[in-house]
Structure 1
């Protein structure tokens, strides 16, 4: 019998060359055909159906399941060999064993859709469905667009819980940015903090803005994100944004909210001498120093934008020279305001965006550069015509890149490509006869490229994933040194491009280098602390002292909260109520004592004499291994300051993942699923 092993109930029989015996216990049935006849399956099936109905029903169900699998999930289901084909010519199938669970399938499905950017309906495609269906059938689960969407939302909720736990009772730095993709506007929000000796950057949300992109709308979305993740406003240390008017206004509104909360707390603690000492009084409302960290003053022409500058006599030098060990008297008032400002949210300008604005200031103000770029763009656009493109292709030459007028880095790449293609452009007569780029124009292009090169290198260096304030200052000063050297060479050529770029950087850098939070981050970095002058160290020490007080109060409040939660588990008694009152009183006393002791200031000042550490040292690991617990806690709060909103792991980089989520055929995703997809993708 050629097909004897394919009938219903074949597993209940034992076959020999000429007979078949029933393997069911207590059954002695044996079937042997007549001499010369073949062994048929019909008598065996009839015996199983009459004598063993339970086993027959089980065999029928298994047969139906196998037929269904062959018909739906196997690629060889349509294979039908001819009668004269032997079984040896059929496709060989191997039985394999894999370790898989329902949780693993769900995890890999979410990863495929989020990290790999596959559509939600990917598991309904015939090829993928045939591949994974045997596994799904064995586990008793299914995967389709509806199930996948539900899994993603569940995974996003779990990720939110993990982020809540990770950033619980920590000072965090927030950075946010706007982006547009396929005509839809999104706001990306990132959290950043130093945790266990490592810089932790987490994407909190990528929210679609259905209303206008105003400062009030951005602020409302930010507040909603903070509430969703359980972040209190007193946990926010800094806000890092670019210089856009709407995002800076949102930051200013956040600062005003934090200031209002602080005033309410101060009014409730008016009997506390320490609270009165640190109170932000109404008399300071007219003092420009009271809003020194306000976001939104993006132009250097606004007096508020430069109010934090250290020393009026050093306005031409971002790092003023110190006269011995004395501190200028003009810093006294500024130090007092910094002590108050450290209790509130600080604003930090994006370093990369500040550099971009410096370059754009020069290009937009120089008519000669603008006229030259118009000529070059005409040449590059001409190379995109069909005939010229064929000439380049036949010669094996690369086409010059087309720039984006709003991004000077692409203009730099375009000029570089044009210079490399100069011999070929002159050979085909495109640049000389059609638009007449003179030798003077070519010389000016070379000079402009030479001036832009250090700026281009600095832009790339400022996009590191773990860029610290000290590393930024080092790269910034290195760029200025190169431009100063080029300015000397330019003066001999009667040009002033490099000097113009240098002047623009010095005008723009005031917004960054006068920020107390920025100076504090450099002060606590022993690799670059030596770059600060004495007046800047005074500002940093004042900010750190006030911040240490803020951290101490947060720690005390956290202990009280934990103790209250512990007491709520048991029924309150008279003794427990008295004990709770004593604990609260003791914590308040210790907090007041801790925030007024002189040791905090001495501890911070003592770090000024720390020997310099090599630049290659991992500053986060260095502080994690530091023996001084209080100093380490203070340093970890400030060295994680995000000086740029466009680092490799920031909100701006997050938007590049939208190209995989909002593809041409996937524009119908709703805002909630986009937020969940981007959160899981960026935090994978």
Structure 2
């Protein structure tokens, strides 16, 4: 049976017909005994009418629709059967199994979705048709995706192991607690010649008390996982926590003992003290005495570097202790401004809400005081009604001076967030912060400047930092003569450490060659002349690998070159030495990327909070580490 709609005369002889008259724009149901008029001739309306009022005809229309021998509609008519059942639209999408798996991996790593998403009914409605079309070789479920994350994480570790092999590396470590789980974040940093390269080695679960011995053992375990020798570690940047500083000191002691043992096994020792002895200041000078090259084991370069951002925070906290009373009163005013009745008034008047600070974060204290200054007029107008909003004129002036004094430090802290920050650039940021603060005439500003100067010694009196600034021709002139000589001594030892890494690679390469050609090795062992030549070759290579006085001469020549403008790119400057002076270039690329902050580790902890959501708080520690390794290294460009 067929129902038709015509724009002119209804087709006779049908059991049901609906007529549309142009003049009235209505369709009339011609089913016997019905006669209901429907506005327009929309197929959905006609279908609903038949389905509700004439269910028998509706069922018969469905059957006729499935009958290939159904009679065609008359000319000029639109059959209602064509709108009774809508045929599904088929869409072809260019999607490979690899792309599908990568998308699912990205969901659980970068996007932070739980593995249980793979079993959700809504997701299965999307993924099952795709999975069926690709064949039985493609299976997507929570278990498979978890295994894939582990496989990808292992591939990333293998890539990192190859990438970091034979390099002098800088580490950054920090610990955090999230949802009753303590972790230690470890980042590694180096230069590829074009800029600073940052990688995440691990975000490892801590299962014991955060003692310095335990933290150092976890760091060593992570290094062994990547086949990184402790002799490759140039520096470790951490916060000012006592356990972190002691852990780095333990690592430095281990490196020193290892280097001393290697020196003790050498048959020949090189007398270099007299050749490169540095001349210090006069006896009456107040400068720190010059270190001699033989006072520390040759090749022992591991230094502890304190986080500059954390040190600046401590300096500001020291100064804020002098303003604790006025800050406490300002905090009470801010809390009163956040009460419900006052908030409603502020909102009606178009003002911003007051800010209540977090006592341990001075940035929020600065923002709270600044917002109080913006609400000064409102507080003065409301003070007769709400006495808690009253601040005297002297108190408001002190608040204003505090905000002005903290502004340079706040700007400097934001500048320290950069991932490509070098030691020289940090030196310029810190110096500008100190100078801008000293320019302010208020007593509180002078106190802030004093606290900054008192704390900066822990940053500047560091061999690794001084050496990095020395190799930055934009800021080298800020170093004193004593600091310059200390930098040269440390760079000399660093060059020796770099040279000591090369024999290990060369030896492994020789072993591979020997294994590849046993016949040749057997033949050469029978040749006494060849044997003597091989011994001479080893002796020559050993002599060449040792540090030469020439590296000190190169550093002396470099120190006399003209200053580089601050706007110039440091890595482009050193790229010019890659051909003309490859040794000095190699030394510079090993020292310049010194990390002066641990900001990247704190960003890793932000990812930890994102991944370790309430729905994923019970993640296995191995799975959690794999997810974070993939996620963080994708962000850093691995």
Same-fold call, TM > 0.5?
Answer: yes
Q: Deviations over 1:150-190 (max 9, x none)?
A: 11111100100010111111001001011111221111000
Q: Out of 331, 337, 356, which is 2:313 matched to?
A: 356
Mapped pair 1:671 → 2:617: no
Rg comparison, structure with higher value: 2
How high is the TM-score relative to the length of structure 2? 0.81
Q: Out of 82, 102, 114, which is 2:97 matched to?
A: 102
Q: How far apart in 1 are the matches of 2:327 and 2:223?
A: 45
Q: Out of 557, 574, 580, which is 1:623 matched to?
A: 574
Equivalent position of 1:150 in the other structure: 147
Q: Out of 351, 359, 362, which is 1:405 matched to?
A: 359
Q: List gaps (5 residues or longer) in structure 1.
A: 3-80, 279-308, 316-327, 491-495
Question: Structure 2 vs 1, CA of residues 680 and 268 (structure 1 numbering), >3 Å: closer, same or farther?
Answer: same
Mapped pair 1:468 → 2:426: no
Q: Deviations over 1:266-287 (max 9, x none)?
A: 2222x3122x768xxxxxxxxx
Q: Out of 172, 181, 186, which is 1:184 matched to?
A: 181
Q: How far apart in 2 are the matches of 1:565 and 1:620?
A: 35
Q: How far apart in 1 are the matches of 2:314 and 2:559?
A: 34
- Please provide the CA RMSD for this pair: 2.6
Q: Out of 406, 416, 419, which is 1:452 matched to?
A: 406
Deviation of 1:142 (Å): 2.2
Q: List gaps (5 residues or longer) in structure 2.
A: 3-57, 62-79, 274-279
SS at match of 2:615: coil
Mapped pair 1:242 → 2:196: no
Q: How far apart in 2 are the matches of 1:678 and 1:311?
A: 54
Mapped pair 1:564 → 2:511: yes
Q: Out of 259, 268, 272, which is 2:268 matched to?
A: 272
Please tell me whether the aligned partners of residues 255 and 300 of structure 2 are also in contact (alpha carbons under 8 angstroms).
Answer: no
Q: Deviations over 1:609-662 (max 9, x none)?
A: 23333323332343234332111111100011001111xxx1111111122211
Of 450-459 and 561-570, more deviation after overlay is shown by: 561-570
Equivalent position of 1:574 in the other structure: 522
Question: Structure 2 vs 1, CA of residues 591 and 502 (structure 1 numbering), >3 Å: closer, same or farther?
Answer: farther
Equivalent position of 2:32 in the other structure: none
Please tell me whether the aligned partners of residues 338 and 543 of structure 1 are also in contact (alpha carbons under 8 angstroms).
Answer: no
Question: Structure 2 vs 1, CA of residues 379 and 533 (structure 1 numbering), >3 Å: closer, same or farther?
Answer: same
SS at match of 1:510: helix
Q: Deviations over 1:373-406 (max 9, x none)?
A: 1111112222333222322233332211121111
Question: Structure 2 vs 1, CA of residues 94 and 536 (structure 1 numbering), >3 Å: closer, same or farther?
Answer: same
Question: Structure 2 vs 1, CA of residues 612 and 92 (structure 1 numbering), >3 Å: closer, same or farther?
Answer: farther
Please tell me whether the aligned partners of residues 380 and 389 of structure 2 are also in contact (alpha carbons under 8 angstroms).
Answer: no
Q: How far apart in 2 are the matches of 1:90 and 1:652?
A: 58
Q: Deviations over 1:285-332 (max 9, x none)?
A: xxxxxxxxxxxxxxxxxxxxxxxx9999887xxxxxxxxxxxx8x744
Q: Deviations over 1:217-248 (max 9, x none)?
A: 21111111101111111110111111001111
Of 603-612 and 345-354, more deviation after overlay is shown by: 603-612
SS at match of 1:672: helix
Please tell me whether the aligned partners of residues 402 and 444 of structure 2 are also in contact (alpha carbons under 8 angstroms).
Answer: yes
Q: How far apart in 2 are the matches of 1:310 and 1:93?
A: 88
How high is the TM-score relative to the length of structure 1? 0.75
Equivalent position of 1:533 in the other structure: 480
Question: Structure 2 vs 1, CA of residues 459 and 342 (structure 1 numbering), >3 Å: closer, same or farther?
Answer: farther
Q: Out of 344, 351, 361, which is 1:390 matched to?
A: 344
Deviation of 1:86 (Å): 1.8
Please tell me whether the aligned partners of residues 517 and 543 of structure 1 are also in contact (alpha carbons under 8 angstroms).
Answer: yes
SS at match of 1:273: coil
Deviation of 1:601 (Å): 1.4
Equivalent position of 1:517 in the other structure: 464
Q: How far apart in 1 are the matches of 2:132 and 2:281?
A: 70
Give the paired residue count.
547
Q: How does 1:596-607 map to 2 (within 5 A)?
A: 596-607=547-558
Q: Out of 622, 626, 636, which is 2:589 matched to?
A: 636
